[in-house]
């Protein structure tokens, strides 16, 4: 296709992506270097018969004026990146000097908001992604062994957790697991602990959200693996059966190598999706004990008094760096393949 024709065909979608994905990333980058204005204060002298007192109050008029003039805020350089709510360089240095043991130091650091969120996000990715692959593969193998006639409805039932939006999916589970729901109430009875509830324990909350993640993402892995299983050639499988290979050996040495490229694809996609975990935290009302990077940004953006653009943008930029690190191996591999293909 000639360049000119390509240009006109691609222009609308390209423009949409540049304007609403490319530019916002740049805009986020710029915003991250600014911070909201401090409130302008003035001294007010108040005199009564007993003498004069000077008090400091916020000058509302001047504050709103300066906010109107420079809505982006004041230039802050990398200030937002290193402040207490983000990388907290200063605080970490302080903790390093003040704490006695390494355990205590780690404890202090992981209580800082950014590191807390980072650790939750990574833990979530680390536990959900492999389990999604495993469960999805097992379901695909199982369903593949079922008579063809009843597979349709079974597949429909299997993909339900995936097609609902994460907020709805987590709410539906939350209403069952909560202390007043069917599973929560029975657990209380079983454990004989009337105060056992999701909100009371951080570990329980984390486990619940991770289980939710596996429940929500496994159907996607299932669908892809199931389709890939349909393309496994019959002859080697039959040859292996004649040679006396066990079922496990067949899966290990014929099926798995055949669908290996698909496994990496699913792993990549679910890693990308898990890294942005956010809605389940709202659905499970777990803000107290589990915060993710995306949730931190959301929290800044829905701030009541003044939207913390700078803070949200700084966290966003660091999230994007995280995504880049996740994607780097794939991009490098694609680049190498592309070069050898030429």
Candidates 166, 197, 270, 289; binder of other proteins (CB under 8 A) is 166
CB within 8 Å of 2: residues ≥ 6 apart: none
Nearest CB to other proteins, comparing residues 44 and 160: 160
Q: Pick the binder of other proteins from 82, 92, 155, 267 (CB under 8 A).
A: 155
Rg, the chain, Cα only: 27
Number of residues that bind other proteins (CB under 8 A): 106
Stretch that binds other proteins, among 42-50, 94-102, 107-115, 143-151 (CB under 8 A): 143-151
List the one residue from 76, 79, 99, 175 that touches other proteins (CB under 8 A).
175
Helices (H), the chain: 3-17, 23-31, 60-69, 79-82, 89-98, 102-109, 113-144, 151-163, 166-177, 182-191, 202-229, 234-242, 247-250, 256-275, 279-283, 293-301, 309-341
Write the burial class of residue 90 (CB in 10 Å: 0-12 exposed, 13-18 middle, 19+ buried).
Answer: exposed
The residues in 103-142 that bind other proteins, with binding defined as CB under 8 A, are 138-139, 142
Do residues 166 and 279 lie in contact, with contact meaning Cβ atoms separated by under 8 Å? yes
- Chain positions 270 to 309 lying near other proteins, rule: CB under 8 A, are 272, 275-276, 278-279, 282, 285, 293-294, 297-298, 300-302, 307, 309
Cα–Cα dist 33/314, whole Å: 8
Write down the least CB distance from residue 333 to other proteins, Å: 12
Among residues 59 and 178, whose Cβ is nearest to other proteins?
178
Structure tokens belonging to residue 312: 């949200």
Residues 66-95 that bind other proteins (CB under 8 A): 71-72
Q: Which of 45, 242, 244, 248 binds other proteins (CB under 8 A)?
A: 242
Inter-residue contact 310 to 318 (CB < 8 Å): no
List 163, 207, 256, 306, residue binding other proteins (CB under 8 A): 163
Rounded to the nearest 10°, the torsion over CA 211, 217, 219, 220 is -170
Q: How far is the CB of 8 from other proteins (least distance, A)?
A: 8
Task: Pick from 66, 122, 176, 267 the residue near other proteins by CB under 8 A.
Answer: 176
User: Looking at beta carbons only, is 9 or 78 nearer to other proteins?
Assistant: 9
Which parts of 6-45 interact with other proteins (CB under 8 A)?
6, 9-10, 12-14, 16-17, 19-28, 31
The structure tokens listed for 227 are 């389709």
Distance in Å, CB of 173 to other proteins, minimum: 6
Specify the stretch interacting with other proteins by CB under 8 A; choose among 46-54, 81-89, 100-108, 222-230. 222-230
CB of 25 to other proteins, least distance (A): 6
Query: The tokens of 119 are what?
Result: 């650790």
Secondary structure string (H, E, C) spanning 57-74: EECHHHHHHHHHHCCCCE
Minimum CB–partner distance for residue 201 and other proteins (Å): 20
């Amino acid at each position: 296709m000639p360049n000119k024709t390509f240009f006109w065909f691609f222009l609308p979608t390209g423009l949409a992506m540049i304007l609403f994905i490319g530019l916002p990333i740049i805009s986020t980058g710029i915003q991250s270097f600014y911070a909201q204005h401090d409130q302008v204060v003035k001294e007010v002298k108040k005199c009564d018969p007993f003498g004069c007192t000077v008090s400091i109050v916020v000058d509302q008029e001047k504050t709103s004026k300066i906010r109107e003039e420079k809505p982006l805020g004041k230039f802050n350089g990398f200030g937002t990146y290193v402040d207490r709510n983000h990388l907290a360089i200063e605080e970490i240095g302080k903790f390093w000097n003040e704490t006695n043991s390494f355990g205590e130091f780690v404890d202090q650091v992981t209580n800082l908001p950014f590191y807390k969120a980072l650790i939750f996000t990574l833990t979530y990715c680390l536990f959900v992604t492999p389990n999604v692959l495993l469960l999805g593969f097992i379901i695909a193998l199982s369903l593949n062994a079922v008579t063809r006639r009843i597979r349709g409805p079974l597949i429909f039932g299997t993909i339900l957790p995936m097609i609902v939006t994460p907020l709805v999916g987590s709410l539906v589970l939350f209403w069952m697991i909560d202390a007043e729901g069917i599973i929560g109430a029975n657990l209380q009875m079983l454990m004989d602990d009337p105060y056992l509830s999701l909100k009371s324990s951080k570990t329980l909350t984390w486990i619940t959200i991770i289980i939710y993640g596996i429940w929500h993402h496994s159907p996607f892995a299932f669908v892809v693996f199931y389709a890939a299983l349909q393309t496994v050639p019959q002859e080697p499988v039959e040859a292996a059966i004649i040679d006396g290979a066990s079922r496990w050996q067949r899966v290990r040495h014929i099926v798995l190598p055949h669908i290996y490229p698909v496994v990496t694809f699913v792993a990549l996609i679910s890693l990308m999706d898990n890294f942005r975990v956010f809605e389940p935290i709202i659905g499970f009302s777990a803000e107290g004990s589990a915060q993710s990077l995306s949730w931190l940004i959301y929290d800044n953006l829905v701030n009541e008094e003044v939207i913390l653009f700078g803070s949200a943008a700084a966290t966003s930029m660091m999230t994007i760096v995280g995504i880049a690190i996740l994607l780097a191996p794939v991009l490098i591999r694609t680049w190498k393949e592309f070069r050898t293909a030429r």
